[in-house]
Structure 1
Amino acid sequence: MTLLPWEAPVSWPAGLSLLCWLWLTCGQGRFWRTDLRLPPLRPDPERWPEVAVVVPARDEAEVLPLSLPGLLGQKYPGRARVILVDDHSSDGTAEVARALAAALPDGLPLTVTSPPPLPAGWTGKLWAVRHGVELAGPAELLLLTDADIAHGPDTLAALVAGAEANRLDLVSQMARLRTDTAWERLIVPAFVYFFAQLYPFRWSNRPGGRTAAAAGGCSLVRRTALERAGGVAAIRGAVIDDVSLARAVKRSGGRTWLGLAERTEALQVVSVRPYVGLGPLWRMVSRSAYAQLRHSLLLLTGTVLGLALIYLLPPLAGLIGLAGGQWRLAALGAAAWVLMTVTYLPMTRYYGRPPAAALLLPFTALLYLLMTVDSAVQHYRGRGAAWKGRTY
């Protein structure tokens, strides 16, 4: 069939998009699978190492009642304690934390502290984490978690058992994010899907592999591995601190593991932070999107073109082909769209969404494209990675 003059400019990119999807589906570390989980609790390790849970918190009084009791109520057979680092909050975060601990006298011991003033070259979160790590004493393992993450009662034991059984230096779980609102249901599953596509979990979990990633909401790290990697100071200015931590640990010879959190109540790791409306979700993504591209206009251009080619062109080509009776173009676009949808289905199922929701991925990708461009615009306006009154 001879291509019409107007069809050729769309047909060739549509064919390239299909080739990209064939590669992503078969050659990108099976990124679309959602079956990487911590193994079931095995027989008790020979010993349970001492653990310190470090929670950086800045203006988190609203979410702490939903998250901190779960940490304090961990059923851990060994010694463990929680260190909440109040990063100069203005909403009474420290007082709320102390009140919650007083209401759970049988829970893990809680220390509430504040770091010195933030020095130049550090992000606030990592400065708080460094302060908490310094106060952790002889703890062999450090659970770095965010103030908005709620943990099931067996989470800590499962993380430690996984680390000990597999001799891992960093064990991380991608927390289940909230999907209560329509915008959350549209944006959140794609957020995890794109992250896994960029950092395939199976590649990240390979010893000695180049890919390294972690999820900042739940990362258990050995103190010796952290020190070997240069400590928190080695990543002090990182906006995407979880990936930077995994890279530092892996480059220094450590073994890392990343998977999705379980859905069972006893082992759940979930974010309780609400994102009501598109605005907060937009800011969540755009805050670090351009930093992920190393503030490079060249990488930004490539990312925009890549998102357009891979996610936007397939449905566009399919619809144009159908409207114009050009079946070859329609078939190329439809085939790429089918692969896109099929690879997205496991993630929508993980988040309890109906199968039809996977068809909306091109629209969601368009939003992410615009968020990425906005991230660059905000960077050049001097508003870069803004978070709770600070801009990096």
Structure 2
Amino acid sequence: MKGTQVIKQHYVSKFILKNFANHKEQVFESLIGESKVYQTNINQSMCKKLTYEHSELEQNSLETTFSEIEGSIAPKFKLLIQLLDSEESEIVEIKKIVLDIIYEVIIFYYRSGAVLHEMSFQKENKDQQLMNLLRHISNSEYIYSLSKTIVDNYNFAIIRSANNEFLLSDQYISTASLNVKTRFANISNRHIGLKNVIILIPLSSKYYIVFFDGSVPNDIQKERINNISTDTLFLLNRAIINNSYHKSVAQVENVLKERLADFKYHSPAKTILSYASGLHKSFTLKKEVFLYDDDEKAYELFANLEYQKFMYVGRNDTCPCGSDLKFKKCCLSVYEKVDKIKNDMQMQVNPTTYMINSKYVAEKSIDELISFEEPELLKQVKEATTKTE
């Protein structure tokens, strides 16, 4: 690949960022860990120096390949937004275009800044980290299968923020659990392919594509273009910012500032999952993200063993949390969720029970996706990135 080397390489596509920008192509961006919000041009946002350069690949080869993918589907994103803005389009027409781009959307998800950050915890050099990312993207069978899981098994909707107040995560796609499961069955933000999940795919600061299974807020109806309430916007933006690792972006400054207070940071970590079959697997776990407060409280109570203080409390007793309310009117519903987690673990419920359809692929952990030996993968990538020469 010839030409001037692109130094700042975007891990969230620039044409997506443009849809979150003002007329001057500026966005408000946050450095989440530092709680800073500043205004920047989309050329400087969600990018990193030489993100996709590998010592054995030709200069700009991956960046050029990603740019070609972006160029092929950016017009479809633009058309979607135009149709939605016209308010005359049918949901069937909208859905047809969405299903046509879902494969590329999954690729964008796996080349995102959050995934790159997660890989940095594997204590490998930059070339090795990049190879791990390429294993995701080069595994076309897996990308296709995961796309099909979404299309065939989840309800579809479009949601609209009247005042362009949606946030954008550096993970690109955001996911959240709609119901706490067992201690490990949420697979730490590896939600695609599980029951009781919402999948949020950004179009712009005004529109998101939504796929879901389970109990979503009442103003999100399947097969419809939904105008969402302030309360639902709060829940969704809280989930989006908690899908981020380094950065989040918004068109409206105050919305981003307000949601920064809801961000909770947890580093990726390794754990061993024990299946009922006796199989043991190692997974890279990220933090859990829940849409609803009760599920998050239940998960935290269980993870921190704080549920023990509720174990022998009667329904009409004063709640141990200190609220002075009766247990049944306070934390009982949360404790019942914790009780289910305990029972499922004691019964060794197989995590596949929580898959939306066991005949389909569920999202895999980073270290499960080692499907190519490195020399073979490099050869495939070199061939793919030099086709246009």
Q: With structure 1 as the length reference, what TM-score do the two structures score?
A: 0.27
Structure number with higher helix proportion: 1
